[in-house]
């Protein structure tokens, strides 16, 4: 990768990460992500463009609002940085083509889902339903995944998780998994295809179980709520890059 492509890709990713911060903050609160300029959540001061430059503004302002002095959450520069890094990863993995664009969009959606679900325990339909269509659209251009496989991935991913949730509710008389997780899994299946649906669920369940057990041992209570979408989304990102190798390794064990 040439220095020019590296720089342009990183700058583009930082800008997308900055926009993603707006999505992560506003979408769960029912606010428009396009109609209102960026503002400080504490003093409501509109942020001028020169204080809204990804990473640089945070460093220059020393992590504080210039209006009221409130601390800017560390999430902002972290998401911006991840936007740049994931753009580079997408370009490295898929090359300079449309696959990298779709893969990067998928990764940004997963990042937004992870942070929104972790904090608010919701997965906005605006992300999951839209990106089911985006994933299905990608399958028409992607040699590695045909439209039928993408459609089956969405159907089995969402339908399988819905069945698990229904059985759990029947046996335990309580909700064990929200509808947001079901739609998220349909979205993931649309992007990754049928073969990678199970690995995503297994990885997410394994890591989520470790997290839940850790909370229980720490005395957080006997009824711990785990934001499963926050584990499904990173597992899907992992499988986007390494899922095929993981399956090949697993099959090779037999």
Report d(CA 232, CA 203) in Å as an integer. 8
State residue 150 phi and psi, 5-degree precision. -65, -40
The residues near 17 (Cβ < 8 Å, ≥ 6 apart) are 54, 79, 80, 81, 82, 83, 84, 108
Q: How does pLDDT run across 112-164, given as a tens digit for each residue?
A: 999 999 999 999 999 999 999 999 999 999 988 999 999 999 999 999 999 98
DSSP-derived 3-state class of residue 67: coil
> Residue 220's pLDDT is what?
65
Beta-bridged to residue 135, according to DSSP, are none
The DSSP annotation for 171-227 comes to HHSS--S-HHHHHHHHHHHHHH-GGGHHHHHHHHHHHHHHHHHHHHHTT--SS----
The residues near 253 (Cβ < 8 Å, ≥ 6 apart) are none
With tokens 């994933």, the residue in question is 135
Extract the residue ranges of the chain whose pLDDT is less than 50. Answer: none
> Residue 179's pLDDT is what?
86
> Residue 15's pLDDT is what?
96
71 secondary structure, DSSP code: B
With tokens 């906005």, the residue in question is 124
Q: Which residues of 193-219 are buried (b: 16+ CB within 10 A; e: fewer)?
A: bbebbebbbebbeebbeeebeeeeeee
In this structure, what token pair is assigned to residue 153? Answer: 């991935």
> Residue 169's pLDDT is what?
75
């Amino acid at each position: 990768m040439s220095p020019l492509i590296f720089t342009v890709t990183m700058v583009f990713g930082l800008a997308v990460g900055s926009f993603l911060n707006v999505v992560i903050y506003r979408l769960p609160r029912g606010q428009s992500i396009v109609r209102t300029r960026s503002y400080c959540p504490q003093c409501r001061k509109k942020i001028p463009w020169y204080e809204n430059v990804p990473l640089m503004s945070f460093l220059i302002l020393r992590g504080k609002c210039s209006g009221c002095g409130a601390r800017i959450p560390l999430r902002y520069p972290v998401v911006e940085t991840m936007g740049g890094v994931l753009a580079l990863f997408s370009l490295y993995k898929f090359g300079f083509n449309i696959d990298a664009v779709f893969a990067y969009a998928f990764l940004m959606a997963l990042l937004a889902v992870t942070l929104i679900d972790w904090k608010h325990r919701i997965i906005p339909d605006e992300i999951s339903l839209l990106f089911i269509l985006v994933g299905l659209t990608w399958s028409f251009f992607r040699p590695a995944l045909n439209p039928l496989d993408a459609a089956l991935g969405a159907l089995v991913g969402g339908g399988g998780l819905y069945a698990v949730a229904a059985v759990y509710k029947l046996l335990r008389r309580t909700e064990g998994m929200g509808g947001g997780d079901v739609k998220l899994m349909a979205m993931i299946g649309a992007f990754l295809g049928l073969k990678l649906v199970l690995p995503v669920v297994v990885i997410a369940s394994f890591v989520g179980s470790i997290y839940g057990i850790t909370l229980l041992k720490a005395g957080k209570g006997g009824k711990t709520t785990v934001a499963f979408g926050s584990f499904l989304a990173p597992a899907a990102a992992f499988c986007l890059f390494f899922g095929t190798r993981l399956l090949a390794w697993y099959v090779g064990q037999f």
